[in-house]
Amino acid sequence: MERIPILKMGDFLLVTIQVDLYDQLAENLETDLVNSVKKYESKGVLIDISSVSIIDSFMGRILGNIGMMSKIMGAESVIVGMQPAVAITLVELGLTLTGVSTALNVEKGMDLLRSKIELSDNQSDYDDYDDDTE
């Protein structure tokens, strides 16, 4: 199976990573994800890594890339379900997943996404207000 499925759930996209990411698979995932964000005008991306028990610098970089790409496309992203051992490994390896938010599980991740989106909506409302008064 060559592609990781991307599930649309309302304004969000959900990706569950269950297999080891190799170059082509990771590249396909990145392409599919930005295309889906555009297609569905998604506001947030949830990446579930609860079945990932081993993480390396490649995987860390891919997760970071996905976060940045989503951000550029106007969608927030949250990584959910990280196993404790993975968190330990990340810190010990010095991989900090810069710019990527995390949450304990899918539900908390959705809440976090909603609050982020609300915040950025309010921010843009405020910007609009500024423009009007100038």
Binding mask 59-98 for a second copy (x = CB under 8 A): ----------------------x-----------------
Among 31, 53, 122, 124, binds a second copy (CB under 8 A): 53
User: Is residue 1 within the footprint of a second copy (CB under 8 A)?
Assistant: yes
Among 31, 35, 51, 57, binds a second copy (CB under 8 A): 51
Q: Give the tokens for residue 2.
A: 């060559």
- 31 contacts: CB under 8 Å, gap ≥ 6: none
CA distance 42 to 12: 5
User: Is residue 16 within the footprint of a second copy (CB under 8 A)?
Assistant: yes
With CB under 8 A as the contact rule, which of the stretches 16-24, 28-36, 62-70, 93-101 interacts with a second copy? 16-24
CA distance 120 to 110: 15
Q: Which is nearer to a second copy, 105 or 120 (CB)?
A: 105
68-87 exposure pattern, b = at least 16 Cβ within 10 A, e = fewer: ebbeebebbbbbbbbeeebe
User: Is residue 9 within the footprint of a second copy (CB under 8 A)?
Assistant: yes
Q: Which is nearer to a second copy, 38 or 128 (CB)?
A: 38
User: Is residue 19 within the footprint of a second copy (CB under 8 A)?
Assistant: yes
